[in-house]
Structure 1
Amino acid sequence: MNDDAPLRAWKARRPVGRGLAGGQLILTRTHITFEPKGLAARVDGLRFSVATKHVAAIGTAPGQGGRFARRIERLCITLGDGSQWEFVVDDLPEVVAALTEALPPK
């Protein structure tokens, strides 16, 4: 089986500045990747990819928003260097469970 073949994929949005860049969160045997789609791909081009062996934790983070913004709980991927990457996904508990299960044993 090809290591880059998608095992699961979810519609996701990545916080960028004051907005959200739409795209797809993809899980393969070895990586978690965010591929921007549509306008986000042409304007922002903010692709994210990390090998699962470099992921320290998968969890949730409280949503951040301004005075009128919705505060949506987000998927939070913490890397071994302590950096955190957040994504807005529709079925958060299911995505967290699937990504946690895909992490290599520590």
Structure 2
Amino acid sequence: MNDDAPLQVWKARRPVGRGLAAGRLILTKTHITFEPKGLAARVDGMRFSVATKHVAAIGTIEGQGGRFARKIERLCLTLGDGSQWEFVVDDLPEVVTVLGAAVPRRA
């Protein structure tokens, strides 16, 4: 099996400025990738990819919301350097479980 072949794919949105860029979150044997689609792919080029070995933690975080926007719980990937990347996904508990199982445990 090719290491770049998708094991799981979810519809996802990534916070960008005051909006969300639509795309898909892809789990492969070695990476977690966000591929934008539509206008986000043509304008922003907001692709994200990280090797699973560099992910320190996977969990959820409450979204910022806004004055009139509701707060949406988001997927949060914390990398080894401490940076956090957030994504809005439809089936959050399933995504957290699957990605958590895919990330190597740190000793």
| Shorter-chain TM band | over 0.9
How much is the aligned-residue C-alpha RMSD, in angstroms? Answer: 0.5
Q: Which letter maps to 1:16?
A: V
1:49 deviates by 0.1
- Structure 1, residues 10-58: CA drift from partner, whole Å, max 9, x if none? 0000000000000000000000000000111001110000000000000
Gaps of 5+ in 2: none
Match for residue 24 of structure 2?
24
Secondary structure of 2:85's counterpart equals strand
1:18-57 aligned within 5 A: 18-57=18-57
Secondary structure of 1:98's counterpart equals helix
CA distance in 2, matches of 1:55, 1:88: 18
The answer to whether 1:8 aligns with 2:8 is: yes
CA distance in 1, matches of 2:10, 2:40: 16
The count of residues paired between Structure 1 and Structure 2 equals 106
4+ residue runs over 2 A deviation: none
Match for residue 104 of structure 1?
104
Among the aligned pairs, what percent are the same residue?
84
